[in-house]
Amino acid sequence: MRVLLDECLPKKLKHEFTGHEVKTVPEMGWAGKKNGELMRLAVGQFDAFVTADQNIQYQQNLKVSEIAVIFLVAVDNRFETLKPLIPQVEEKLREIKNGDVIRVSE
C-alpha cells in the first residue's frame, strides 16, 4: 500500500508503518500545497492519504476521490500521541478502497 502522510503529522511517524511504502508531503516536494491540489497530486501515486486536518472533509468531496483518506483524531499532533493509533491505521489500510473516508481515534 502506498501511503502519503500529511505535512501536519510528525515526519518520524512514517517509520511506524510496516509493510507499506510511506512518504511525507514534504518528501514529495508538495509542502505548502492547498488541500485540493495536494489530493489531485496524490491520486495515482498513492492509495491512501493520512492526515489530522479535519477541515479537508469540508473542503473536498472525498467520496468521489480516487484515494482513501484516513483521519487521525487525537488531542494533539505530537508523535507520542499519534504513535498508538498506527496499529489501527494499518488495520484499516488492509481493507480500504478508493473514496473511503475513515476516522481513527484514541
Q: What is the domain range of residue 32?
A: 2-105
What Rg, from alpha-carbon coordinates, does the chain have?
12
35-58: pLDDT as tens digits? 888 888 998 999 999 999 877 765
pTM of the model: 0.90
Pairing of strands 2-5, 101-105: unpaired
Tell me which of 90 and 53 has the higher pLDDT.
90
Pairing of strands 68-73, 21-24: unpaired
Q: Which residue type occupies 9?
A: L
Non-local (6+) Cβ contacts of 24 within 8 A are: 4, 5, 7, 9, 11, 14
Domain count, the chain: 1
